[in-house]
């Protein structure tokens, strides 16, 4: 077919049909381009969401590592506190035993000494001290007590 034949055939087509076809093609192009733009926007939003999720995951992982570190530090502190409690209990025991044996050897105790020893023993007892110290305290309580206390707990000489 030559170009003149094509022109003759096209001139035979009514102008309304050509306009209709152009309108249909324009509509199809419009729908395709609008759909493409919407798909692109959806893709962009999905990509942004994915980046935000990855950023959030990194943040959460960092926090989890910090929490793990804090837990380890707290466990170390707790172990040190437990050790301090054990040492304090031993220290209280030593003080009570040493003082009790001294007072028993002397055969007497002052009211002030007894009051101080009772305070130590009360703390020792709160910490679940053993019965040996309780036995010593019972022996100390049987000793003759020198001095008296008034209503406020003060020495009366």
Distances (CA, A) of 88 to 99, 125, 141: 16, 12, 24
Summarised one tens digit per residue, pLDDT across range 8-41 is 777 787 888 888 889 999 999 999 999 999 999 9
| Whole-angstrom distance, CA of residue 90 vs CA of residue 111 | 25
Summarised one tens digit per residue, pLDDT across range 76-132 is 999 999 999 999 999 999 999 999 999 999 999 999 899 999 999 999 988 887 778
Give phi and psi for 43, each to the nearest 5.
Answer: -60, -45
pLDDT, the chain, mean: 89
């Amino acid at each position: 077919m030559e170009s003149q034949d094509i022109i003759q055939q096209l001139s035979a087509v009514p102008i309304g049909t050509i306009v209709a076809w152009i309108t249909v093609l324009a509509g199809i192009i419009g729908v395709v381009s609008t759909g493409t733009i919407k798909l692109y926007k959806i893709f962009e939003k999905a990509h942004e969401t994915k980046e935000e999720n990855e950023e959030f995951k990194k943040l959460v992982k960092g926090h989890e590592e910090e929490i793990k570190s804090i837990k380890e530090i707290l466990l170390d502190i707790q172990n040190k506190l437990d050790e301090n409690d054990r040492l304090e209990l031993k220290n209280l025991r030593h003080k009570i035993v040493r003082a009790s044996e001294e007072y028993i050897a002397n055969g007497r105790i002052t009211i002030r000494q007894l009051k101080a020893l009772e305070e130590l023993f009360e703390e020792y007892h709160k910490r679940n001290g053993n019965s040996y110290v309780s036995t010593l305290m019972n022996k100390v309580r049987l000793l003759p007590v020198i001095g008296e206390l008034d209503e406020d707990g003060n020495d009366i000489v």
